[in-house]
Amino acid sequence: MTVTHINFDAPAELRKWPSLRGQRVKDAASYLVVSGTLGQYIQAFLPKHVGGRHLYEIHTAPQTDVVTEVLSAEHVAELARLQEYL
């Protein structure tokens, strides 16, 4: 996989899933926490407690194979590593 460019200044939304006892509530929709840039939310996402990261997603315009419309915790961790090198 070759990543040539990722726009970390692209508009993005940090969204959260409603939860009960640390698990997503079934049949619920995620809600907007805040809007900003992809780079801001990658950095804001990482300090969140590992056990609660699955409740958050970053929504942005797709850019590459790596940057899809909805980024899960696993995607964000990978992008954080890429951000250091790009």
Q: Where are the domains of the chain?
A: 11-85
Rg (CA), the chain: 13
CB-based contacts of 13: which residues, under 8 Å, 6+ apart? 32, 33, 34, 35, 58, 59, 60
Mean pLDDT value of segment 1-18? 83
For residue 86, pLDDT over 80 is answered with no
Mean pLDDT value of segment 2-31? 87
What angle in degrees, to the nearest 10, is found between the helix axes of 38-45 and 73-85? 110
Q: How far is CA 83 from CA 9, 27, 33, 35, in A?
A: 12, 34, 23, 19
pLDDT digits (tens, 9 = 90+) for 27-66: 899 999 888 999 888 888 777 777 788 888 899 999 877 7
Largest CA distance in the chain: 41
Q: Provide the pLDDT for residue 4.
A: 59
pTM: 0.79
